[in-house]
Amino acid sequence: MYNSPLFWFRMNAIRFFGTAIILLFVAGPLVTLVLDTLLWLKDDQASDIGAMLSWSRQLSLLAKSVVFSAAVALGDLLIGVIAASLFWTWNTKFNRILAIGLLSMIAVPPYMHAVAWRFAVDSLNGVTGSIGMPAFAFKGWAAAWWVQMMALAPVGAGLSLLGLFSVDTKLFEAGRIAQSDLNSFRRIVLPIAAPPLLAATGFIFLYTLVDYSVPSSFLLTTYALEVFAEFSANHSAARALLISLPFLALTLIVLILVLELLRQAAVRPVSVDAAWTCEPFWPRWFTQLQGFATALLLLQLIVPIISLGMLTESWSALAGAIRSASDEIVQTAWTAALAAIVGLPIAFFAALRICEAGRYWWLLVLLPIGIPAPLIGIGLISLWNNVATAVIYDGALILVLTYLARFLPIAALVFYAQLRRLDPMPVDAARILMPNRFRFWVQIYMPLMMRTCIAASLLMFVLALGELPASLLTIPAGTGTITIRIYNYMHYGATETVAGLCLVIPLLTIIYAIFLFGVAGSWRFFLPKIPGKKT
Amino acid sequence: MISLNCITKSLARKTIFDDVSLTIETGAHVAITGPSGCGKTTFLRLIAGLDTPDRGDIRIESKLTSQSGRTLVPPHQRQVGFVFQAPALWPHMNVAQNILFGLQQLPKSDAAERLNRILSETGTTHLAKRMPDTLSGGEQRRVAIARTLAPEPRILLMDEPLTNLDSVAKTELAELIKSIVNNSKMTLIYVTHDLKEVSHFCDRNYVIKNAKVIELNG
Amino acid sequence: MTPEQKIAFGVFSLTKVSLTSGLKVCLAGLLIYALSACKDENSVVIYTSVDRHYAEPILQAFEDQTGISVEALYDVEAAKTTGLVNKLIAEADRPRADVFWNGEFLQTQLLAQDGVLSRYAPTQTGLGWQESEQLWTSFGGRARVLIVNTAVLPNAEWPATLSDFLSDRWRGDQLAIAHPLFGTSATHAAALYAAWGRTKAQDFYRSLLARGVRIVDGNSVVRDLAVSGEITFGLTDTDDACSAISSGADVAVLFPDQREGGLGTLVIPNTVALIAGAPHSENGKRLIDYLLSESVVEALAEAGWFHINGTEVLVSDTCGLPKNIRPMPTNPATLHQSIETAKQELRDIFVQ
């Protein structure tokens, strides 16, 4: 009986099912691309490879891109950690509001961040010019670095805060007795929080590496543009994938480093967030630095909103923009939300499997982070555009699958970072006592991971809202997304409408965040009910 | 009856158990001792189903539960109770909910009756609505024991439950454990460093040494 | 198991984590909505790279006239033409589109050579022309024009040819072109390669880069820079340039190389084609015939998308353009051959 296939299927049904889902949704497009590339190579196209390569130019381009991405990631790490060191000691509710506000700006297309900052600098130059001061030249690599770094600074701060929350405050307190608070923070908290902090930095590095939009708007070229130029010129996904191999190699290196760090992460005993009984005593220069970092984050919230607001010019223009794009707004909202909800258990499962099975699992799940988005789109078309799956490909569900393919690996990484820190004892206690698996998950595991679930879901949602390159390829005719509409209008020059629609994006994020916190708050209704008494 | 047959287990390239065979009769009170890192907690985890032997099999009441890298019967179906080294209470549930978690398969009236009884037996009735992080170390241990005993397990596994407690709390908790264990037919496997606890709770003492489990007489 | 446990286990077997009942119902509803995405048989699917602002009213009019529901998919400039063309190629085994309406012709020629298009001889072609194997038809057109900021540059000093981009009269950073690897700029590059030959064309683009001429994200960016006065003049398309004039900006639009013996101005016609294996081919043919009709050409001219039809300049008054244009002689087949070389070499020049 124990050796029968049926027994093993029953024991491992969830594992098989979950593995199949991940292989299909996440690894599927990549596997399809690789197979197509191998077929392309087999058809004596190898001679084309020589024509594709221009070593010195491409290496120089790659080097520039790596330096640029690293500079953005390091800048965000610095701002994120310093700002998070302040937020860490704040009231939890305020932290939540701040995190939502910051995260919501990521979904605004990077190009619009560039527009918003240019508008702000031009306005400032107008003021300084009127008092005889020279204009500030906002161009080149410095400007591109600033815009990209600021666009992703909220992600850096949010994930840094998550990283700091994963440190047992008792360990910090043990240090405060012996050393100054800053020294304890530097030598105890930061090393313990290093794995999730570096994971966040790695994500920002890879995200910047594969995105050319901001540098391109400042007339700068990066290796990502090389990939798109290749794809545009030859319409061959195989050739573009081969040109993208450096991205894959860099992704591999970053993931190996990050996963190794996370594997060694210390476990944090679970506890409820208690208010600080004695807030840290920071030196004056550090509090000024914290203020500066916080000001930068608030600037990243205020500048786009005010610039976009001014560009929108009137409430009626905003209303008109919303009316004209109502279908796209609804479609984007529900497909992004569905992906962010459905993707949660899949990402959770993937992270669990990486913890358990390790070795090659993470390749399948996480490597797609390094694939340029249009290639993911082509892989999705190859996978889903067939008679058997017509009902999926021809409808809006393909958008959900697009968002899952692109962003589920990031959510899995967020879960993995937290799972490595999770105290196993309460989980083991539940494994012994659980009445059934359903209650184990709903009453124990999910609440213990609730904060991570909210972070992962919100991150997936905002990234899905702003997604363009892959969804442009997979979206069915007759439908659209808010980002596609924004770029349609941007080309046409309807700045007012574009700005208005960009303001809708943070609004959608706030609504979704409220929904998430509502679900989290209502979770107590799943907990065991004390007979005869309200929970 | 718990029987371990030819169990071999390694962790981090270190052999914890090397071809260990052992039988513990139903109702026996057994102590497991040994130096730090010898595998006492791993021993309990193997029986509980939280870990699997690399080779060999484990049977509980003649039913095969684990075999050579496979868990055939999951932990919650082994009727085992486990008191961990740390209280491991769930921070988002109050004391009553922590205890009720393992009673949800019972009819509501039975669950209520059992909750009240266990709260009373462990002297934690006044803590029922409190959250775990508001309890002292000793109170958390009591609640952890109450939670473990509520489903009336057949096998009770205790991993140094009296560690890091002051002498008063230790004494009170020791008396509680003794009374519960003596008044039931549970099989007790008790891990400790303290030889006083061995003689207080247990009839037999096994020591883990050099990857073997050896029974000590007397 | 109690009945409750059986239900719980059943739900859990289907999904890893179950949600509240209301959320389950919502999810089920959403799935039903998504799965009910069956296309109406009396419909036609069109992929178009033409700006939505121009294409949508035309397609809406077709829908109103014929009762055939039009499902349109628009491209975005930011996708740098990796969008619809690649989607059509990727979907070739099971096409979803019926018609492809492109704002230029080289990408359409590429699709023809890849076997993505189907033969169709429309009922009329107007002043357009058909590809040799009837795989696509051209109609209307835009021209590659110079947009000049008149506040910065008086009439007497306006440029007249593409070679003026290399003139010392203006600093390089006062001039701009859209990236020659993408869109109509790429088409223009291929035309120059064909007209001038590889060496001269390469030298031209190298010189542009060496002079510091701004290479920007798209034709609309060139327009915006000219309108704001950040550049003196730039190279863009008629629709972008004329939209600036319509909005009252201090700019002028010129056809370059119009002098006798000059290169001529590149006219880029729109193209329309039937997709091979189209799911609604009959409706597709009707749509193609409709797009090629005189009324549509007029409507697009009125809207500001088309400015050229053959050698005639449409709605020239509103944009300050002459009534006629001397176009650059082009042969799609020759251009298609030169675009491969052009893109490879231009990538080596500009992507670094």
Q: What is the pLDDT of residues B72-123, one digit of tens each?
A: 888 888 889 999 888 888 888 899 998 988 888 889 899 999 999 999 988 8
- Quick one: pLDDT at residue C289? 94
Question: B175 Cβ partners below 8 Å, 6+ apart?
Answer: none
Q: What share of chain A is helix, strand, coil (3-state, %, to 5)?
A: 80, 0, 20
Point out the domain boundary residue: A301, A330, A346: A301
Q: Which token pair is C20?
A: 């509240």
Q: How far apart are CA C182 and CA A210, in angstroms?
A: 19
Q: How far apart are CA C216 and CA C211, in angstroms?
A: 15
Q: Which token pair is A292?
A: 């500066």
| CATH code of the domain covering residue A268 | 1.10.3720.10
> What sign results for the dihedral spanned by CA atoms C169, C171, C177, C181?
positive
Residue A468 resides in a domain: yes
Domain shared by A119 and A195, yes or no:
yes
Distances (CA, A) of A366 to B176, C201, C348: 51, 44, 32
For residue C271, what pLDDT band results from cuts at 50, 70 and 90?
very high
Cβ of A528 within 8 Å of Cβ of B101? The answer is yes
Look at A341-355, C20-34, C292-306 and tell me which has the smallest mean pLDDT. Answer: C20-34
- CA closest to B75 among chain A residues: A432
Percent of chain A with pLDDT over 90: 24
In degrees to the nearest 10, what's the CA dihedral of C298, C302, C308, C309?
Answer: 10
Q: How far apart are CA B184 and CA B205, in angstroms?
A: 20
Q: How far is CA C344 from the centre of its chain?
A: 21
- Quick one: pLDDT at residue B113? 93
Residue in the structure block whose two tokens are 């992004």: A336
Domain shared by A69 and A39, yes or no:
no
What b/e readout covers A128-158, taking b as 16+ CB neighbours within 10 angstroms? eeeeeeeeeebeeeebbbbbbbbbbbbbbbb
Cβ of A531 within 8 Å of Cβ of B131? The answer is no
Q: How far apart are CA A217 and CA C221, in angstroms?
A: 9
Q: Tally C-beta pairs within 8 A across A and C.
A: 202
A225 touches chain C (CB under 8 A): yes
Residue C351 has its nearest CB partner, among A111, A225, A377, at: A225
- Quick one: pLDDT at residue A357? 73
Question: A271 Cβ partners below 8 Å, 6+ apart?
Answer: A168, B91, B133
- Quick one: pLDDT at residue C272? 95
Q: Are A407 and A458 in contact (CB under 8 A)?
A: no
Domain shared by A64 and A205, yes or no:
yes
Q: How far apart are CA C159 and CA C232, in angstroms?
A: 10
Pairing of strands C175-178, C308-309: unpaired
Residue A197 resides in a domain: yes
Domain shared by A12 and A157, yes or no:
no
Residue C76 has its nearest CB partner, among A14, A394, A487, at: A487
The range of the structural domain enclosing residue A104 comes to 53-301
Domain shared by A156 and A250, yes or no:
yes
- Quick one: pLDDT at residue C40? 62
Domain shared by A210 and A319, yes or no:
no
Residue C352 has its nearest CB partner, among A221, A395, A488, at: A221
Residue A518 resides in a domain: yes
> What sign results for the dihedral spanned by CA atoms C226, C231, C232, C234?
negative
Eight-state DSSP code of residue C38: P
Residue A307 resides in a domain: no
For residue A47, what pLDDT band results from cuts at 50, 70 and 90?
low
Domain shared by A226 and A320, yes or no:
no
- Nearest C-alpha of chain B: how many angstroms from A168? 14
The closest of A283, A476, A148, B14 to C73, measured between CA atoms, is A476
Q: Amino acid identity of A115?
A: V
Is a pLDDT exceeding 80 seen at residue B67?
yes
The closest of B152, B127, B150 to B138, measured between CA atoms, is B127
Q: How far apart are CA C338 and CA B48, in angstroms?
A: 73
Point out the domain boundary residue: A248, A269, A301: A301
Domain shared by A348 and A232, yes or no:
no
- CA closest to B157 among chain A residues: A432
Rounded mean pLDDT of A297-308? 82
Q: Amino acid identity of B99?
A: I
Residue A531 has its nearest CB partner, among B85, B90, B108, at: B108
User: How many domains is chain A partitioned into structurally?
Assistant: 2
Mean pLDDT of chain C: 85
- Quick one: pLDDT at residue A44? 61
Rounded mean pLDDT of C300-328? 82
Q: How far apart are CA C30 and CA C38, in angstroms?
A: 15
Q: Which phi and psi (to 5°) does residue B51 adopt?
A: -145, 160
For residue A313, what pLDDT band results from cuts at 50, 70 and 90?
low
A50 touches chain C (CB under 8 A): no
Q: Do you know the residue count of chain B?
A: 218
Cβ of A394 within 8 Å of Cβ of C96? The answer is yes
For residue A239, what pLDDT band results from cuts at 50, 70 and 90?
confident
Cβ of B90 within 8 Å of Cβ of A448? The answer is yes
- Nearest C-alpha of chain C: how many angstroms from A382? 7
- Tens digit of each residue's pLDDT (9 = 90 or more) over A435-478: 787 888 888 888 888 888 888 999 899 899 989 889 999 999 99
For residue A271, what pLDDT band results from cuts at 50, 70 and 90?
low
**Residues of chain C found within 8 Å of residue A215, distances taken between Cβ atoms:** none
DSSP state letters, A242-305: HHTHHHHHHHHHHHHHHHHHHHTPPPB-----PPPSS-----HHHHHHHHHHHHHHHHHHHHHH
Residue A433 has its nearest CB partner, among B45, B49, B101, at: B101
- Quick one: pLDDT at residue A9? 64
- Quick one: pLDDT at residue A57? 84
Residue A274 resides in a domain: yes
Domain shared by A381 and A514, yes or no:
yes
Question: A214 Cβ partners below 8 Å, 6+ apart?
Answer: A110, A111, A113, A114, A144, A147, A148, A151
The closest of A421, A445, A412 to A196, measured between CA atoms, is A421
C206, containing H or E segment: helix C198-211
Cβ of A428 within 8 Å of Cβ of B81? The answer is no
Is a pLDDT exceeding 50 seen at residue C14?
no
Helix axes C52-66, C294-303, angle to 10 degrees: 150
B16, containing H or E segment: strand B14-24
- Nearest C-alpha of chain C: how many angstroms from A58? 7
Cβ of A441 within 8 Å of Cβ of C12? The answer is yes
- Quick one: pLDDT at residue A195? 83
Q: Which residues pair with C74 in a beta bridge?
A: C48
Distances (CA, A) of C264 to A281, C200, C232: 74, 16, 22
**Residues of chain A found within 8 Å of residue C304, distances taken between Cβ atoms:** none
Mean pLDDT of chain B: 89
- Quick one: pLDDT at residue C15? 44
- Nearest C-alpha of chain A: how many angstroms from C304? 12
Rounded mean pLDDT of A230-250? 86
- Quick one: pLDDT at residue B51? 86
pTM above 0.95, yes or no: no
Domain shared by A35 and A96, yes or no:
no
Cβ of C181 within 8 Å of Cβ of A233? The answer is yes
Contacting B residues, span 169-198, partner chain A, CB-CB under 8 Å: none
Pairing of strands C233-237, C175-178: parallel
Q: How far apart are CA C179 and CA A471, in angstroms?
A: 24
Domain shared by A386 and A516, yes or no:
yes
Look at A93-97, A252-256, C246-250 and tell me which has the smallest mean pLDDT. Answer: A93-97
- Quick one: pLDDT at residue A445? 85
Residue A78 resides in a domain: yes
- Quick one: pLDDT at residue B175? 87
Q: Are A330 and A321 in contact (CB under 8 A)?
A: no
Rounded mean pLDDT of A324-328? 88
Best of C62, C82, C94 to disrupt the A interface (most A CBs within 10 Å) is: C82
- Quick one: pLDDT at residue C282? 95
- Quick one: pLDDT at residue B185? 86
A6 touches chain C (CB under 8 A): no
- Nearest C-alpha of chain B: how many angstroms from A4? 12
What b/e readout covers C5-15, taking b as 16+ CB neighbours within 10 angstroms? eeebeeebeee
- Nearest C-alpha of chain B: how many angstroms from A424? 9
Domain shared by A297 and A356, yes or no:
no
- Quick one: pLDDT at residue A111? 73
The closest of C119, C77, C163 to C276, measured between CA atoms, is C119
Q: Are A209 and A66 in contact (CB under 8 A)?
A: yes
Q: Amino acid identity of A45?
A: Q
A493 touches chain B (CB under 8 A): no
- Cβ-based neighbour number of residue A101 at 10 Å: 18
Q: Are A517 and A454 in contact (CB under 8 A)?
A: yes
- Tens digit of each residue's pLDDT (9 = 90 or more) over A5-31: 665 666 577 778 888 888 899 889 989
Eight-state DSSP code of residue C36: T
Rounded mean pLDDT of A514-534? 78
Residue A306 resides in a domain: no
Q: In terms of pLDDT, which residue wins out, A97 or A413? A: A413
Three-point CA angle C46, C50, C51, nearest 5°: 115
- Quick one: pLDDT at residue A534? 47
Is a pLDDT exceeding 60 seen at residue B36?
yes
The closest of C267, C281, C292 to C137, measured between CA atoms, is C292
- Quick one: pLDDT at residue C18? 45
- CA closest to C5 among chain A residues: A436
Q: Amino acid identity of A183?
A: N
Rounded mean pLDDT of B49-58? 90
Q: How far apart are CA C298 and CA C288, in angstroms?
A: 16
For residue C276, what pLDDT band results from cuts at 50, 70 and 90?
very high
- Nearest C-alpha of chain B: how many angstroms from A99? 22
Residue A385 resides in a domain: yes
Rounded mean pLDDT of A135-161? 89
Rounded mean pLDDT of B165-186? 85
- Tens digit of each residue's pLDDT (9 = 90 or more) over C103-148: 988 889 889 989 999 999 888 776 667 777 889 999 988 999 999 9
Rounded mean pLDDT of A333-342? 94
Percent of chain A with pLDDT over 70: 88
A532 touches chain B (CB under 8 A): yes
- Quick one: pLDDT at residue A51? 62
Q: Are B88 and A445 in contact (CB under 8 A)?
A: no
In degrees to the nearest 10, what's the CA dihedral of A181, A182, A187, A191?
Answer: 100
- Quick one: pLDDT at residue A1? 47
For residue C16, what pLDDT band results from cuts at 50, 70 and 90?
very low
Point out the domain boundary residue: A281, A301, A321: A301
Q: Amino acid identity of A164?
A: L
In the Cβ-directed half-sphere of C176, how many Cα atoms lie within 13 Å?
A: 29
Three-point CA angle B95, B98, B99, nearest 5°: 90
Q: How far is CA A342 from the centre of its chain?
A: 16
- Quick one: pLDDT at residue A287? 93
Rounded mean pLDDT of B55-77? 88
